[in-house]
Each structure stands twice: as structure tokens, then as C-alpha cells.
């Protein structure tokens, strides 16, 4: 239960609170680097956990136990982005909920590999995995101040359907976003 509570309260980051307009965020230099999108399994537990701590520098990083739960759950649909050399630089974890909606529980990309469409590719892959398991509706929660993530989701066709007052443990509001896969 504690694990699930933690999962639900994930979607915020102080990086988002400190969000600066796009023009003030220089894009990283390695824009030409190539990446692969591959399945994320329990064999990547430690690498994923370490990367998560680099993505969520706010004390809201998942515990190793939470990742262990997520990566062994039969209802999980998870992918990682790797460099050609094989290092993990991004991840996404989706869960098929009992009501058969797809739930994006977390997505993260290493700071020095952002703005190269990795999150977009990871999200596309998890949606494909959901479709293959007959999921027709995807949901996620995002902190109201996490503008970067909201723009990502909007660009993929997610729409805000509800504000979730004080959804986060620190009192911040969340936004519920939905996308139909039909």
C-alpha cells in the first residue's frame, strides 16, 4: 500500500517549479547522438533506480523497492532509452489498472539527454504496448507546475480533464490528463 501511495504521489518535481521559459533553457550539445528504445525489465533495476535519482532530484525519487514492485508487476509495460553503447538515459513505466486503463506512473530522461524526443519515443512505445493489450484509454497525473511535462503530454494528444487539489504530499495540485487510444 505504501508503495502504491508513493506511486500516486510521484508526479511533480522541483525542477518543474523552477521551470524557465524554453528560450532560457539551452539545448544540450549532443543532439546528433543515436538512441535505442528497448524493454525495461527487472534486470535493469539498479540502473533504472540510479537514473531515476538523477531525474528526480527533489527527494521524490522512487525507492528501489518501488521499482522492484513496478518492474515485476505483470500489468507493467515499461521501456528504456539507451545510448548506442547501452547506457540507460531514459525510462517509462506504465501499469494496466484493474479498470483496464493504462496508467503512466513515471517517465524520466537524464538531464544531459533531454530535448531529443526521447520522452516522446518512450511514451509512443508504452502506448503501443498498451494497445497490444487492448487498452483504449491512458491516464496520468502531473503536477500543475510541471510545465515541461505538460507540454510533452499535450504534444502527444493528452488533455487535462480535472484539477486534483492538494494531490501531492507537499500540498501541490495535480492535473489529471487523459488520452484515448482509439
* Binding stretches for ligand COA (CB under 6 A): 10-11, 13, 15-16, 22, 25, 55-56, 106-109, 114-120, 142, 146, 148-149, 151-152, 155
Q: Which is nearer to ligand COA, 6 or 117 (CB)?
A: 117
Q: Which is nearer to ligand COA, 121 or 135 (CB)?
A: 121
Q: Which is nearer to ligand COA, 135 or 149 (CB)?
A: 149
Q: Which is nearer to ligand COA, 134 or 168 (CB)?
A: 168
What is the nearest approach in angstroms of ligand COA to the Cβ of residue 56? 6
What is the nearest approach in angstroms of ligand COA to the Cβ of residue 96? 19
C-alpha cell at position 147: 510545465
What is the nearest approach in angstroms of ligand COA to the Cβ of residue 134? 25
Q: Which is nearer to ligand COA, 80 or 134 (CB)?
A: 80
What is the nearest approach in angstroms of ligand COA to the Cβ of residue 33? 12
Inter-residue contact 79 to 125 (CB < 8 Å) = yes
Inter-residue contact 131 to 121 (CB < 8 Å) = no
What is the nearest approach in angstroms of ligand COA to the Cβ of residue 106? 5
Amino acid at each position: 500500500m505504501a508503495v502504491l501511495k508513493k506511486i500516486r504521489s510521484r508526479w511533480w518535481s522541483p525542477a518543474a517549479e523552477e521551470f524557465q521559459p524554453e528560450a532560457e533553457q539551452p539545448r544540450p550539445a549532443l543532439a546528433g547522438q543515436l538512441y535505442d528504445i528497448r524493454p525495461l525489465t527487472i534486470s535493469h533495476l539498479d540502473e533504472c533506480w540510479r537514473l531515476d535519482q538523477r531525474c528526480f532530484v527533489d527527494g521524490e525519487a522512487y525507492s528501489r523497492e518501488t521499482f522492484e514492485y513496478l518492474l515485476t508487476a505483470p500489468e507493467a509495460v515499461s521501456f528504456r532509452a539507451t545510448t548506442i553503447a547501452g547506457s540507460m538515459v531514459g525510462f517509462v513505466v506504465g501499469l494496466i489498472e484493474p479498470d483496464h486503463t493504462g496508467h503512466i506512473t513515471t517517465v524520466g530522461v537524464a538531464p544531459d539527454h533531454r530535448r531529443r524526443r526521447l520522452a516522446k519515443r518512450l511514451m509512443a512505445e508504452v502506448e503501443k504496448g498498451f494497445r497490444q493489450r487492448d487498452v483504449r484509454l491512458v491516464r496520468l497525473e502531473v503536477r500543475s507546475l510541471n510545465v515541461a511535462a505538460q507540454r510533452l503530454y499535450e504534444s502527444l494528444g493528452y488533455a487535462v480533464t480535472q484539477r486534483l487539489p492538494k494531490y501531492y504530499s507537499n500540498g501541490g495540485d495535480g492535473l489529471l490528463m487523459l488520452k484515448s487510444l482509439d
